[in-house]
Structure 1
């Protein structure tokens, strides 16, 4: 079997493992693909701590894309992870968040992979921003709405459980309250977005 074929098999194995929540897949991902990222960041005015942070964020981008369900790898996983890490490192350098600053990084991959990585980073940042706004909207919601929505959507509690917890006379009343709370949350969320 050629090296490229075995790389593709390993990449698919890692992606499937991440999708299934297998910690061994994540360990293999770090073992195989972290060293080139570490080298790239250290060679471009970074530290090993910064490389760890960048790679962790890169893994989160990959995790989000895999769990979104429509992730198709158009290059080797190593190339994708390197491109995302490079993009994140460049952003950190241009924001001046690195201990050191350097204006360029040697090219590694073609522009197609760079665009794919850029899209993945942009999507990840948008999701993070929306989650932060949703957290803020939820915090401003107050009780009992905050707990009702948290119990239903995060803890997956049934309406019967919520009805019992809050002392509603029946589940229809609890559903009505949940609906009103959800409408208030939407109002807070879209107010914070605009």
Structure 2
């Protein structure tokens, strides 16, 4: 049911695109570009590369839509991701004079699976960020100092007034368990 609603909405966006409706183009861009950007950055591209490839994909989509014989049978996100992936692989081949793609780029993953993986990771990051926001002090700072700022346990012990690094390590463990509980409580609700 939701799949049909998504495709119906996508078809409405395509009608807007065919009529050169700026709002439809903005929605298509905002909903689809981040995934394409991530894919290209993961494959040694730059943000400018991603913009170029996405622009080419929008042109391909626009030309198909105005030709009148294009029928969207999948989600628009899946279609654009596939086109962008194809254009990026083609660009990498021509830029580097490759006749065969490197193994990591050769891998054929259906676009829907790749999109689902990205969506799932985005959701996990959102939940983790939310969990970190709810963990409270001093746990938040201890975990950030250790994992993000790469501070030693001795530095953390000194900062928080623990008697030694071992006590700071025990506190970090308790904080980590608390974060894990907060994360999975939210994660299980979102499933």
Tell me the SS of whatever aligns to 1:142: coil
- Which residue number corresponds to residue 71 of structure 1? none
- Which residue number corresponds to residue 173 of structure 1? 167
- Which residue number corresponds to residue 58 of structure 1? 36
- Which residue number corresponds to residue 136 of structure 1? 130
Could you tell me how far 1:155 is from its partner in structure 2? 1.6
RMSD value over aligned CA atoms? 3.9
> What count of residue pairs does the alignment treat as equivalent?
125
Q: TM-score, normalised by structure 2?
A: 0.51
Q: Distance in 1 between matches of 2:182 and 2:28?
A: 37
Could you tell me how far 1:169 is from its partner in structure 2? 1.0
Which has the larger displacement, 129-138 or 155-164?
A: 155-164
Structure 1: segments with no counterpart, 5+ residues: 1-40, 68-76, 90-101
Does 2:154 match 1:160? yes
- CA pair 176-132 structure 1, distance change in 2 beyond 3 A: same
Q: Distance in 1 between matches of 2:133 and 2:40?
A: 29
- 8 Å Cα contact 1:133-1:192 kept in structure 2: yes
Tell me the SS of whatever aligns to 2:150: coil
Which of the pair has more CA radius of gyration?
2
Could you tell me how far 1:45 is from its partner in structure 2? 6.5
Q: Distance in 1 between matches of 2:165 and 2:172?
A: 10
Structure 2: segments with no counterpart, 5+ residues: 1-15, 62-69, 87-107
Does 2:106 match 1:119? no
Q: Distance in 1 between matches of 2:163 and 2:43?
A: 42
- Which residue number corresponds to residue 8 of structure 1? none
Could you tell me how far 1:182 is from its partner in structure 2? 0.3
**How does 1:56-95 map onto structure 2 within 5 Å?**
56-63=34-41, 65-66=42-43
**How does 1:140-151 map onto structure 2 within 5 Å?**
140-151=134-145
- CA pair 127-45 structure 1, distance change in 2 beyond 3 A: farther
Q: Distance in 1 between matches of 2:155 and 2:18?
A: 56
Could you tell me how far 1:44 is from its partner in structure 2? 8.6
- 8 Å Cα contact 2:35-2:118 kept in structure 1: no
Could you tell me how far 1:43 is from its partner in structure 2? 4.9
Q: TM-score, normalised by structure 1?
A: 0.51
Does 2:72 match 1:104? yes
Q: Distance in 2 between matches of 1:120 and 1:141?
A: 31
